[in-house]
Each structure stands twice: as C-alpha cells, then as structure tokens.
C-alpha cells in the first residue's frame, strides 16, 4: 500500500512548465531524498504536493492515502492536505509578526484534531505537550512565546519547522532544503528530530542539495531531478556518487 | 485558488429604526443656528458662541490638503437637527424612552436598561442629534463624577462648560470645527473631580438614524487634578445610498497628574463595494495635558465610514506630561482613510508615543498623516513613532506622511515605518499547517494589530478583533 503516488505529474507556475512528468511512489516507513542541480524543480515538486496555489497541475495524477484509500488530492486546498497528514517544511520559513509561536501551533494542531475528530487541547495542556518535544531539538521554552519566526536566526527557523512537524505528526513530511544554511550542530539536531518521528507509519521526502544531511538521515531511495524529470533513482550510494562526481555525468547519460 | 480580495458587503448594523422624528428645515443659516439653540433652551453666551462660530465658518473654504477625494458636499441640502419625536420633552429617565429606541440599542448590543447592564460601564446613548439618557448616573454622582449629555451639562454645570468648551478646539481651528461649534446638537460631558478615580468605564454610543442628516456631536471631558477615567466610544449608522456627514468634536482636558484614556471603535456605514453611500467622518479630536504629569491616550479602531479624516492629538503643555496614540485603520472596497495624530510638545520632559497600523484591502486608500512638534520650551522631549501598513491584494494603497518639527536640540525623536503585504506565500505557510484561509488572514491581521489591541479594555478588544475579522471575511477567493 502506498502513501503517496505521483504519476506523470506536470505542473507550471506563471505559464512556465517546471515539472514535466514526474513519477514517484512513497510507501509508509520510507525515506526518499530528492537531489538535483539548481532550478531542476525540486522545491516545486514539494510545493505542488503540499498544494501551493501558485502552481498549477496541468497533467498527471497526484494521489495520497486517506483513510486507507488512494485518493486524488490535486483539487484539495493546501490546508485540507495538511489536515489529511501532509506537512511541508519550508526552505524559507515565513515570519508572522504579533502571533506567538505557541498560539500558532495550537491553532494548527487543533485544526488537525478537529478534522480527525480528536479532542481539542486547552492552552495549558498543549504547552505541556509541546514542552516534551523541545529537548530533542535543543530549543528553550522561550521560543514558544516569541512571534512566529520573527527575529529567529536561520538555524532557529529550521528547528522551528521541525518542531511544528513533531507537533503535527504528519504521515508524509516534505522537507524542502531544511539542511541549507545550517551548521553541523544544527544539522545534527534537525536530523535527530526527523529520526525521533520516523516510524513504519510515516514517510519523509527530503529535498536537498548536499549529501551531508544524508549522513545523519539514512534515505532508502535517492532520486535525481533534472529539468522537471527524475533522471535517475537509486539507493543511498547514489548520493555518495553524486557527491564525488557531480551531476554532469548523469545529465549526459540521460541525454542518450 | 487565486489570491484576490472579495470582501463581504454585509453590514449588520445597517437597519433603520422607524420612528417619528422632528427635523428642522434643510440648509444652514443664522436662523437654523438660533433655532437649535432655542430648541435646547440654551443661555445667551452659548448662542453667541454658536453665532460667532457660524460667521467664522461662512468665511472659511472647504479644505483641500487631504489625500482623500471628497465629493463636493452641498451644505444647503442637509438637515442640521433631527430628534426622535417622543423625546421632545427630555425623558425623565430611561424608562420613559420610546420602546422602539430601546429596542434599537438592544439590537446594537447596547442595552440601556440598567438592570440589564453588565456592571462596570456607564453608557450615554446619542441617537441622531440627541442624547437619550445616561445609565448609572446615581452611582457616579456619589463620587462626584458628572457624566451626562452636553445639553444637560450646559443647563446644570454652565460654569464648567463655559470654561472648557472650545478651549482645546476653538471654532477657528478648522472648517468642520467651526461648523460643529455652530450647529452641534448633543454629545457627552464628563467631569472627574479632584482625586477621583472614576469607579467604572464611561461609554458613549453614537447612532445616526435619520436620512440626509448631519451628526455634529460634541464631547467634552475634563479630568481634574489627580483623577483618572477610561472612556469608550462606539458608533454605527444605517445602510443608505446617500452619503451622510458626521463632523464631531472631542475635547479632553487633563489637569495636574490626571489621566484620561479614550478608546473608539468606529464602525459607521462605509458604503457598498462600489463606493455608494457611507458616512463622511470628519472629526476633530484633541486633548490637552494642561497639568504636570498628566496623561492622555487615544486608542482608535477605525473600521467604517466611506471617508475618514481625523487626527486625535495631544498638546503636551504640562511638564512631564505624556500623550499616546494607538490606531488601527482598516479600509476595504472604496473606503478612504486619512488619519493620524499630532503631538505638540511644549512642557519639559514631555513624552509621546505613536503606534499606527493601517490595513488596506480592495481598492481602498489608507493614509497615515502625523505631526510631531517639539517647541523650543520642550526640553528633553521624547517621541517614538511607529507606522506600519499592510496591504491585502494589489489594488489598494497605503501612504505615510510623517511631519517632524523639532525646535529644541535636547529632543529625542524616533520614527519607524514599514509596509508589508499579506502575500500568497504567507497564506500558504499558514495553510500548510492546516489553518484555513480566513483564519489565516485573521491571524496575520490580528498579529499585525496586536500592539494596538492590547491597549484597549478587554471587552472592546474582543469586539475589535471580531469586527476586523468580520470586515475581512472572504478576503481570499
């Protein structure tokens, strides 16, 4: 049974074709890494799966497992996809001045609870719950009462994304270049967060430039995206090969 | 989903009360001024005050410096006085009021019968040109607080009214101040005696009901030495296709060590989405910190009116006095708001704070215009100003015109400004966390306004948040 099924997916933004026929299947318990040179469509793929309104799906299928059944999600709004268990960790997390981090997370958490018919959490209970997640990410409680991402350093913003992920506990987490701009300690912390959530019920799609992150999070599959298509898929060793040889040989190979 | 602005046109306060009323003939001349004064059985000095103001007004030109586009107003085509007929003779108590009127205020969520009042707020209700009565009067009288309509104050406390009326906003101040001084009908009067902390919040609720009628209310608040009062003001009007004029004056006087907090939630009818109808809200609000260590703060949530044009200001005359202006101005559809403040520093060590948040949606125009003036006498004066604008969609506009005039080198003046846009990316971020688009907009906007909302009394702040949410409903298509 798959969790996510992408078939011949084509998408454009402002009239430009970015994804030109993507095929990808993700099963529960798997970790996939999407790599590729700049402008290949990696971030677009994660945004299209999460439902960014600026991206238009022009062809193909996008299905997600909801209540044990593969369902077409291409018409669902981003917030509906989130409520059904898809999470997108942003490459550039957005600041929301005046809204406290904890208030925002509770809004989000309760929206999910309501959708799933679970009981909503009161302020105090929720704070206690969030506090249990802080040590893994090496974050202090003070973060909860600051405005969402406002004045956060690059590393703090990325950790905050992972914190939100742990709170929402999605079945599919798409992490868009979560490793970019992180020092080695922050990178380890982020990886710890991901590894702490990993189970046989959920899956991760990591969009990344560098092999570095994959030293700490072991991917089951590595896909190379180039000009809107996956030109090569393989195991973890593919990432190591890319680290050594770059992308050119693959691009050459794909042209033949 | 495309990102565009579609704002609900519903205005739930837009109903009209069917009630017999008394009006004077349309148009404005000396006779009308005399008639208003006679109607209100005013003393000679007040009639003279009005007539003088009328003369001044006749000499004045309609101002043209504002950013808003104001259609020509025909001052001969307006009624200058309207009152519900049943209150021809002033009601002895609220129980004598026409039940229709009581029902109107109930519908607006302002129950006037005292037994129904939630404790803690005394209300003066002004319907068209007359005050309908004031609640909690007796409790206030026990501590010496005077809270009544300005007409009643003229009759019962003429010495106070004579001393302070026009002392902060003289008739010569501006076109609409002169007009108001000539024809003002009613409004509230507050006097807090020496050393008294007003035991409850005071509130005036303004309602325009009559057609083609200008509303010219006048509020005067005097806080004597060492006193404190928290004053709230709310306003609504029926939904009509014609524009209506509202030209009020609010004057505040704070003596030594006195503190006055004045909060407004303005929700006059704003016209429909094509810009038809709505209130022209041309108001002069000004306070003077006359005494040492006195404080005046203005908080306003401006969410209605076709055109708003107002600058609640503070004259900081007493040494160590403090003025503050906290504002949220929301415009949508074709609304125009040109609002801000003036802080005039005269005394030593005077301090002022300005926090202005403008939110524009659709094709609306939102202007902050402010003046910080440090006079040569104002040694060590300090000002902090922060003016932020938020744009929703790409058809609206926000402008900031801050004027800073410093005549004393010891002054510290800080000004910060920002413009932001609720972008598709920002909305997407919140949505990707399961928050629906309407809730997302309201979270972003409320976060943006937080510094202002937190200065409002709790009840008002809840109302303000709801009002802003409602006004922005369906802002994303």
Q: Do A54 and B424 touch (CB under 8 A)?
A: yes
Comparing CB atoms, the residue among B432, B434, B443 nearest residue A99 is B443
Please, how many CA atoms are within 13 Å of residue B259, restricted to the half-sphere of its CB? 10
Q: How far apart are the first and last CA of chain B?
A: 7
Average pLDDT for B452-467: 82
- The 10 Å Cβ neighbour count of residue B346 is 20
In sequence order, the 6+-apart residues with CB closer than 8 A to the CB of B69 are B336
pLDDT one-digit tens code per residue, B33-45: 999 999 889 999 9
Locate A107 and state its tokens. Answer: 């809004």
In the prediction, which pLDDT does A42 show?
94
In the prediction, which pLDDT does B234 show?
78
Q: How far apart are the first and last CA of chain A?
A: 34
In the prediction, which pLDDT does B108 show?
59
Residues in chain A: 256
Burial class (CB in 10 A: 0-12, 13-18, 19+), B393: buried
Average pLDDT for B450-463: 84
Does A106 map to a domain? no
In the prediction, which pLDDT does B8 show?
39
Position B144 confidence tier, pLDDT thresholds 50, 70, 90: very high
Q: What is the CATH number of the domain that holds A166?
A: 3.40.50.300
Q: How many domains, chain A?
A: 1
Residue B83 clears pLDDT 50, i.e. is over it: yes
In sequence order, the 6+-apart residues with CB closer than 8 A to the CB of B435 are A79, A107, A108, A111, B443
Does A116 map to a domain? no
Q: What angle do CA A47, A51, A56 make, to 5 degrees?
A: 85
Any idea which residue has 């439902």 for tokens? A51
> Residue A207 gets which letter from DSSP?
E
- Residue B367 to residues A56, B187, B324, B361, B450, Cα–Cα distance (Å): 37, 28, 19, 13, 20
Residues in chain B: 477
**How far is B360 from B362, CA to CA, in rounded Å?**
7
In the prediction, which pLDDT does B212 show?
64
Average pLDDT for B231-247: 77
Stretch among A112-121, B95-104, B193-202, B389-398 having the lowest mean pLDDT: B95-104
pTM for this prediction: 0.82
B window 447-476, beta carbon within 8 A of A: 447-451
Position B325 confidence tier, pLDDT thresholds 50, 70, 90: very high
A69-72/A55-66 β-pairing: antiparallel
Does A113 map to a domain? no
Residue B128 clears pLDDT 80, i.e. is over it: no
**How far is B305 from B331, CA to CA, in rounded Å?**
9
Query: Which tops the pLDDT comparison, A179 or B137?
Result: A179
Do the beta carbons of residue A223 and residue A34 sit within 8 Å?
Answer: yes
Does A122 map to a domain? no
pLDDT one-digit tens code per residue, B339-371: 999 999 999 999 999 999 999 988 889 999 999
Q: Do A98 and B433 touch (CB under 8 A)?
A: no
pLDDT one-digit tens code per residue, A47-103: 999 999 989 999 999 999 999 999 999 999 999 999 999 999 999 999 998 999 999
Sign of CA dihedral A153, A158, A161, A166: negative
Locate A45 and state its tokens. Answer: 């793929």
Position A209 confidence tier, pLDDT thresholds 50, 70, 90: confident
Stretch among A101-110, A144-153, B196-205 having the lowest mean pLDDT: B196-205
Burial class (CB in 10 A: 0-12, 13-18, 19+), B250: buried
DSSP structure string for A40-73: SSHHHHHHHHHT-TTEEEEEEEEEEEETTEEEE-
**How far is A171 from B325, CA to CA, in rounded Å?**
48
Position B267 confidence tier, pLDDT thresholds 50, 70, 90: confident
In the prediction, which pLDDT does B6 show?
33
Residue of B376, B219, B225, B346 whose CA lies nearest to B294 = B225
**How far is A98 from B388, CA to CA, in rounded Å?**
13
Comparing CB atoms, the residue among A93, A96, A164 nearest residue B447 is A96
- Residue B64 to residues A55, B61, B71, B134, B172, Cα–Cα distance (Å): 46, 9, 11, 38, 17
Name beta bridge partners: B401: B369
Interface test with A, best of B388, B416, B434, B464 (most A CBs within 10 A): B434
- The 10 Å Cβ neighbour count of residue B460 is 24
Q: Do A94 and B426 touch (CB under 8 A)?
A: yes
In the prediction, which pLDDT does B211 show?
63
**How far is B382 from A246, CA to CA, in rounded Å?**
60
**How far is B338 from B308, CA to CA, in rounded Å?**
6
pLDDT one-digit tens code per residue, A64-78: 999 999 999 999 999
Instruction: List CB contacts (< 8 A) between A53 and chain B.
Output: 1-3, 424, 428
Locate B307 and state its tokens. Answer: 């055109």
- Is residue B139 less than 8 Å (CB to CB) from chain A? no
Instruction: List CB contacts (< 8 A) between B357 and chain A.
Output: none
Position B241 confidence tier, pLDDT thresholds 50, 70, 90: confident
Residue B14 clears pLDDT 80, i.e. is over it: no
A221-226/A31-35 β-pairing: parallel
What is chain A's mean pLDDT, rounded? 94
Residue B477 clears pLDDT 50, i.e. is over it: no
In the prediction, which pLDDT does B3 show?
32
Do the beta carbons of residue B375 and residue B405 sit within 8 Å?
Answer: no
Stretch among A125-139, A158-172, B8-22, B175-189 having the lowest mean pLDDT: B8-22
**How far is B62 from A143, CA to CA, in rounded Å?**
53
Residue B250 clears pLDDT 60, i.e. is over it: yes
Residue B137 clears pLDDT 80, i.e. is over it: no
Q: If you count residue pairs, one on A and one on B, with CB atoms under 8 Å apart, how many are there?
A: 82
**How far is B33 from B424, CA to CA, in rounded Å?**
55
Does A75 map to a domain? yes
In the prediction, which pLDDT does B238 show?
64
Residue of B nearest to A57 (CA): B1
Residue of A55, A199, A219 whose CA lies nearest to A46 = A55
Instruction: List CB contacts (< 8 A) between A87 and chain B.
Output: 432
> Residue A179 gets which letter from DSSP?
T
Does A132 map to a domain? no
Q: Do B447 and A112 touch (CB under 8 A)?
A: no
Instruction: List CB contacts (< 8 A) between A83 and chain B.
Output: 434
Locate B464 and state its tokens. Answer: 């303000």
**How far is B36 from B34, CA to CA, in rounded Å?**
5
In the prediction, which pLDDT does B282 show?
92
**How far is B436 from A76, CA to CA, in rounded Å?**
12
pLDDT one-digit tens code per residue, B165-205: 999 999 999 999 999 999 998 888 999 999 999 988 888 87
pLDDT one-digit tens code per residue, B403-441: 999 999 999 999 999 888 887 788 999 999 999 988 898
A39 SS3 class = coil
Does A221 map to a domain? yes
In the prediction, which pLDDT does A255 show?
79
Comparing CB atoms, the residue among B436, B447, B450 nearest residue A79 is B436
**How far is B385 from B342, CA to CA, in rounded Å?**
11
Residue B86 clears pLDDT 70, i.e. is over it: no
In the prediction, which pLDDT does B114 show?
47
C-alpha distance from A253 to closest chain B C-alpha (Å) = 37
**How far is B40 from B92, CA to CA, in rounded Å?**
15
Residue A7 clears pLDDT 70, i.e. is over it: yes
Residue B383 clears pLDDT 90, i.e. is over it: yes
**How far is B336 from B330, CA to CA, in rounded Å?**
9
Does A90 map to a domain? yes
What is chain B's mean pLDDT, rounded? 84
Residue B65 clears pLDDT 90, i.e. is over it: no
Residue A212 clears pLDDT 90, i.e. is over it: no
Residue of B355, B198, B228 whose CA lies nearest to B291 = B228
Domain that holds residue A8: 4-94+155-255
Backbone Cα Rg of chain B? 22
The 3 state secondary structure assigned to chain B is CCCCCCCCCCCCCCCCCCCCEEECCCCCCHHHHHHHHHHCCCCHHHHHHHHHHHHHHHHCCCCCCCCCCCCCCCHHHCECCEEEHHHCCCCCCHHHCCHHHHHHHHHCCCCCCHHHCCCCEEEEEEECCEEEEECCHHHHHHCCCEEEEHHHHHHHCHHHHHHHCCCCCCCCCCHHHHHHHHHCCCCEEEEECCCCECCCEEEEEEECCCCCECECCEEEEEECCCCEEEEEEEEECCCCCCEEEECCEEEEEECCCCEEEEEEEECCCCCCCCCCCEEEEEEEEEEEECCCCCEEEEEEEECCCCEEEECCEEEECCCCCEEEEEEEEEECCCCEEEEEEEEEECCCCCEEEEEEEEEEECCCEEEEEEEEEECCCCCCCEEEEEEEEEEECCCCEEEEEEEEEECCCCCEEEEEEEEEEECHHHHHHHHCCCCCHHHHHHHHHHHHHHHHHCCCCHHHHHHHHHHHHHHCCCCCC
In the prediction, which pLDDT does B123 show?
67
Interface test with A, best of B431, B439, B449 (most A CBs within 10 A): B431
Position B95 confidence tier, pLDDT thresholds 50, 70, 90: low
Percent of chain B residues topping a pLDDT of 70: 81
């Amino acid at each position: 049974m798959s969790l996510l099924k992408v078939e011949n997916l084509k998408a454009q933004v402002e009239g430009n074709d970015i994804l030109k026929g993507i095929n990808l299947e993700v099963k529960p318990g798997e970790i996939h890494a999407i790599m590729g040179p700049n402008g290949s469509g990696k971030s677009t793929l994660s945004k299209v799966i999460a439902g960014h309104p600026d991206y238009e799906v022009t062809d193909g299928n996008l299905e997600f497992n909801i209540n044990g059944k593969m369902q077409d999600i291409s018409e669902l709004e981003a917030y509906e996809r989130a409520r059904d268990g898809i999470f997108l960790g942003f490459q550039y997390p957005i600041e929301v001045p005046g809204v406290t981090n904890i208030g925002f997370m509770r809004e989000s958490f309760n929206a999910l609870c309501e959708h799933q018919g679970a009981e909503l959490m009161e302020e105090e209970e929720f704070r206690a719950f969030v506090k249990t997640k802080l040590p893994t990410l090496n974050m202090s409680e003070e973060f909860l009462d600051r405005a969402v991402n406002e004045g956060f350093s690059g590393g703090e913003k990325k950790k905050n994304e992972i914190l939100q992920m742990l709170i929402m506990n999605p079945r599919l987490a798409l992490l868009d270049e979560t490793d970019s701009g992180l020092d080695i300690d922050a990178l380890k912390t982020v990886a710890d967060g991901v590894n702490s959530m990993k189970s046989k019920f959920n899956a991760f799609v990591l969009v990344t430039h560098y092999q570095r992150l994959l030293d700490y999070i072991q991917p089951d599959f590595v896909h190379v995206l180039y000009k809107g298509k996956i030109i090569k898929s393989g195991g973890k060793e593919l990432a190591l090969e890319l680290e050594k040889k770059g992308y050119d040989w693959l691009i050459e190979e794909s042209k033949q | 989903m495309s990102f565009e602005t579609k704002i609900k046109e519903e205005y739930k306060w837009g109903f009209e009360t069917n009630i017999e009323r008394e009006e004077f003939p349309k148009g404005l001349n000396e006779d009308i001024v005399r008639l208003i004064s006679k109607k209100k059985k005013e003393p000679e000095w007040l009639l003279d005050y009005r007539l003088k103001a009328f003369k001044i007004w006749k000499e004045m030109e309609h101002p043209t410096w504002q950013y808003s586009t104001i259609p020509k107003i025909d001052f001969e085509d307006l009624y200058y006085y309207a009152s519900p007929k049943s209150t021809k003779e002033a009601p002895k108590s609220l129980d004598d009021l026409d039940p229709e009127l009581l029902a109107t205020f109930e519908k607006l969520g302002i129950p006037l019968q005292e037994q129904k009042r939630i404790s803690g707020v005394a209300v003066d209700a002004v319907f068209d040109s007359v005050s309908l009565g004031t609640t909690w009067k007796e409790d206030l009288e026990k501590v010496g607080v005077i809270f009544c309509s300005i007409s009643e104050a003229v009759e019962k406390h003429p010495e106070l009214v004579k001393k302070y009326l026009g002392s902060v906003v003289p008739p010569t101040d501006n076109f609409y101040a002169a007009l108001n001084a000539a024809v003002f009908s009613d409004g509230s009067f507050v006097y807090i005696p020496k050393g008294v902390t007003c035991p409850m919040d005071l509130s005036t609720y303004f309602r325009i009901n009559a057609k083609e009628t200008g509303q010219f209310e006048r509020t005067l608040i005097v806080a004597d030495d060492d006193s404190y009062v928290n004053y709230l003001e709310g306003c609504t009007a029926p939904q009509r296709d014609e524009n209506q004029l509202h030209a009020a004056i609010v004057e505040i006087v704070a003596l030594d060590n006195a503190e006055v907090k004045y909060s407004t939630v303005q929700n006059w009818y704003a016209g429909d989405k094509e810009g038809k109808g709505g209130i022209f809200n041309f108001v002069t609000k000004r306070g003077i910190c006359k005494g040492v260590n006195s404080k005046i703060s203005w908080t306003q949530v401006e969410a209605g009116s076709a055109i708003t044009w107002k600058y609640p200001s503070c004259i900081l005359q007493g040494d160590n006095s403090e003025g503050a202006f906290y504002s949220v101005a929301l415009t949508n559809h074709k609304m125009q708001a040109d609002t801000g403040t003036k802080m005039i520093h005269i005394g030593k060590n005077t301090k002022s704070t300005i926090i202005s948040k403008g939110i524009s949606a659709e094709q609306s125009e939102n202007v902050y215009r402010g003046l910080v003036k440090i006079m040569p006498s104002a040694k060590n004066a300090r000002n902090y100003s922060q003016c932020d604008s938020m744009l929703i969609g790409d058809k609206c506009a926000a402008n900031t015109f801050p004027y800073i005039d410093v005549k004393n080198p010891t002054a510290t003046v800080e000004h910060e400004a920002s413009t932001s846009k609720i972008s598709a990316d920002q909305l997407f971020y919140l949505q990707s966390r399961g928050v629906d688009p309407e809730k997302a907009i309201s979270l972003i906007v409320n976060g943006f306004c937080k510094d202002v909302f937190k200065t409002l009394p709790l009840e008002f702040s809840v109302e303000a948040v709801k009002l802003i949410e409602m006004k922005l409903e369906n802002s994303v298509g």
